[in-house]
Amino acid sequence: MPILSYLKALGRALGDELAADERVCVFGEDIRVGVANVTNGLLKRFGPDRVVDMPISEQAFTSFATGAALAGRRPVLEFQIPSLLFLVFEQIANQAHKFPLMTGGQAAVPVTYLVPSSGSRTGWAGQHSDHPYSLFAHVGVKTVVPATPTDAYGLFRAAIQDDDPVVVFAPAAAMGVREDVDYATLVPVPLGVARVHRPGTDVTVVAVGHLVQTALSVAEELADEISVEVFDPRTLYPFDWTGLAASLDRTGRLVVIDDSNRSCGIGAEVLATAAEQMRLVAPPKRVTRPDGAVLPFALALDQALQPSRDQLLTAVRAVAKGG
């Protein structure tokens, strides 16, 4: 079977949506040339009316996409850096997100915001290494963080097909993931439905994005000791609470590993909702970035602030024993 890389999966999803729906179009910087390696070849295939290179005017082109969406298009925006989402937070959270309710249902804003290589890219330092998905979960903008090439393909397509704004985070650390796939089986993956990568009975590990691989490897290492269920929410907002409750019904123990800042991150939301409503037989744990983290440049410092395999291992062991 052919091998699909995460990046290729994103490019393929975009190409397939452009081909399937004339309303879909792509905006971004350097997308003609495909600097981020997602849009390569699309200009030639779909022309400059569908694949539109933009000046460094993120705020304007984000609201430009909103306007185009209000007029019937389904734009996909590519951002070169995760923190550019800070720059356009007003345009997404206060404009695009609010149109349907504020207009009493007259408007829809089907725009997809893609951040290839989100999170820390080694050596890109403080202003290029944020992973701000929890911010969108807070304001209520649909947020997906695919972990595998198949899910990257499927969730990205579903995001484009969705009638609401959706932010798609493609973690830099997931870019290396490859999968044997039969292209014919690649299909959209519905938003809001989690995926259990590995079933288990002792501890549920909720892992976000690239950390799914970390969780799988920890589960494997602990296999003789603790039966770990690896739960990949895939969509952080709306979250698959039903799926999580079912998992905790089995395990009653919870660890979340999440590459965003601790305070008010998605890890907090998972623990809070579980503590309120689900079966927990021991105190749960989070493995996250520190509060307010700014990733320092030097490699060892950068890595010291990211949630690690060792931390997860320790947390799973502690939660398995706790209660």
Ligand X SMILES: Cc1ncc(C[n+]2csc(CCOP(=O)(O)OP(=O)(O)O)c2C)c(N)n1
**Residues that bind a copy of itself in the complex, under the rule CB under 8 A:** 83, 86-87, 89-90, 93-94, 97-98, 101-102, 125-127, 130, 132, 134-135, 137-141, 237-239, 260-261, 263-277, 280, 283-286, 291-294, 296-297
Stretch that binds other proteins, among 4-12, 204-212, 214-222, 299-307 (CB under 8 A): 299-307
Dump strand ranges (E) for 108-253. Answer: 112-118, 142-144, 166-171, 178-180, 195-198, 203-207, 228-232, 235-237
Q: Does 206 help bind other proteins (rule: CB under 8 A)?
A: no
Question: Which residues in the 275-294 window bind other proteins by CB under 8 A?
Answer: 276-277, 285-294
Residue 85 identity (one-letter amino acid) = L
97 is catalytic: no
- 113 sits near other proteins (criterion: CB under 8 A): no
E-strand ranges in the chain read 3-5, 24-28, 51-53, 74-78, 112-118, 142-144, 166-171, 178-180, 195-198, 203-207, 228-232, 235-237, 254-261, 285-289
Give the contact letters, 73-112, x = binds to ligand X (CB under 6 A), - = no: -------xx--x--x-------------------------
Cβ-based nearer residue to a copy of itself, 125 or 181: 125
Per CB under 8 A, the list member of 5, 16, 83, 317 interacting with other proteins is 83
By CB under 6 A, tell whether 29 contacts ligand X: yes
By DSSP bridging, strand 228-232 and strand 195-198 are antiparallel
Per the structure block, which two tokens stand in for 124?
Answer: 């890109």
Question: Are residues 115 and 130 in contact, defined by beta-carbon separation less than 8 angstroms?
Answer: no
Residues that bind ligand X (CB under 6 A): 29, 56, 58, 80-81, 84, 87
